[in-house]
Amino acid sequence: QESLVNGGIFSVNVNVSLFETNIRVLGGLLSAHQLAVAYLENQVPGEDVRNGSGKVIIGTVPSKSQIKKVKDAQTCKLEDGCIKSKPLKSKIHSEVEKEGFNLSEMNCNNDTDTQVDSETTFWTYDGFLLELAHDIGKRLLPAFQTKTGIPYGTVNLLHGIPNGESKIASLAGAGTLSIEFELLSRLTGDESFGNAAKLATRALWMRRTKKNLLGKHINIEHGSWTETLSGIGSNSDSFYEYLVKHYLLFPEDEDFWTMFMSSYYGVHNESRLGEWYGDVEMNAGRSGSSRRVFESLMAFYPGMQVLLGEVSPAAKTLNGFFLVREAVGLLPERFNYGNWKVEGGNAGLHPLRPELLESCYFLHKSTEGISSMRSNSEPSGHSGWLWAADYALYAIYWHTLAKCGFSSITGVSPEATGGVPNKVRRQNAKRVDEMPSFFFKEK
């Protein structure tokens, strides 16, 4: 509260990405606020949150006076306040631990059951996370002050738009804002956030071609496309995802379904190449040339299709994506499926992206138990996608597991990272001392 009165923790002279700050900072604060309201009220012991002087405790040290370990798991029941926390141990763990990695220690040793005393004084949530979200939201709003309503890509948290800021925005950067901003409006009663973000989405969609295709980059002042390449990969991906998810979350905004369906038809009719998708010129569509390159960011698309009930085409496409993973072990940033090889430059980078496994999860949840239904046996909860995910996770553990986290990999290739992992390939994989923040959050 004191920091907000004195300008707030976001009162700093720094330029930030509108897109990244929205999905990570604003989205994170809104999610944490809703979780606090829904699950934490009257459930978290106060001594686990603040110490005797009222300051927030940093770390995971339990309140010994309020929490006691229950040695016999049979006496620990959910209705008594028991929280069971057993680390998952799969075949992957066993295989990797043979190589000298103790994954049990990396699970923070939470292999215990705990029980909260009935006389505990619980923490009460005062809504400060929503206040922080409102603060950062107001600092991002100046980005939308353009002639078209399509926002700048960068904003200064103190001074608004930086001098000389580019007037070119990407489709994804300007069109992946509506969910967080609309939720902020509904939670605070301030409609300016949702109105700004929805206007930006509509302004982009209005500039589609007759083939219902949109480009990758646009001038935010006069609304002309500066890159007319159209596809579902980089600089475009989350625009399509947010159209359908916005409608699912806020069905009152019916035009988002209209915008999504027309865009979906455009991709299906003009960018789809069998079970794959390519980049095409937005005015020519499939009648022109196509760029037959699979980008790792495209892997979100089958998961999105599952939300629509398009399970069969989603499965066919994701199967193709997994063929790439099996060929080179880890998904590279760009893979030419026409020539069946990793493209040059930094295309062989694997930055631990989550999209492939996210789509795999959606396919698994939509198909689990189908084989059991066909054979009239007991539901198993398994699917072929569960196996695919298991193999993919094994490759990630094998090639990227480091002493403190997981590393990105460069030079992904059949020789370095493909096939069944072994010690030689592990040594050949080129590691980067970098682990993106989205790895633990999304993967």
> For residues 184 and 135, what is the distance between their CA atoms, to the nearest angstrom?
11
pLDDT at 369: 72
Write down the catalytic residue from 20, 111, 126, 434. 20
Alpha-carbon torsion, ordered 92, 98, 100, 103, to 10 deg: 30
pLDDT in tens, 175-189: 999 999 999 999 999
What pairing do the DSSP bridges indicate for beta strands 15-17 and 154-156? Answer: antiparallel
The residue ranges of the chain whose pLDDT is under 70 are 1-6, 39-52, 54, 56-123, 371-381, 442-443
Burial profile 95-108: b = 16 or more Cβ within 10 angstroms, e = fewer: ebeeeebebeeeee
Answer yes or no: pTM beyond 0.85. Answer: no
C-alpha closest to that of 73 among 88, 87, 89, 84: 84
pLDDT at 115: 47
Write down the catalytic residue from 180, 270, 279, 333. 333
Three-class DSSP category at 215: coil
> For residues 417 and 396, what is the distance between their CA atoms, to the nearest angstrom?
10
C-alpha closest to that of 382 among 368, 365, 397, 370: 368
In the residue annotation, 20 being an active-site residue is answered as yes
- % pLDDT > 90, the chain: 67
pLDDT at 380: 61
C-alpha closest to that of 151 among 276, 16, 271: 16
In the residue annotation, 390 being an active-site residue is answered as no
pLDDT at 276: 97
pLDDT at 283: 97
Residues pairing with 280 in the sheet: 230, 290
Contacts 24+ apart (CB under 8 A), 34-38: 36/125, 36/129, 37/125
In this structure, what DSSP letter does residue 284 have? T
Write down the catalytic residue from 47, 48, 180, 237. 237
pLDDT at 345: 86
pLDDT at 37: 83
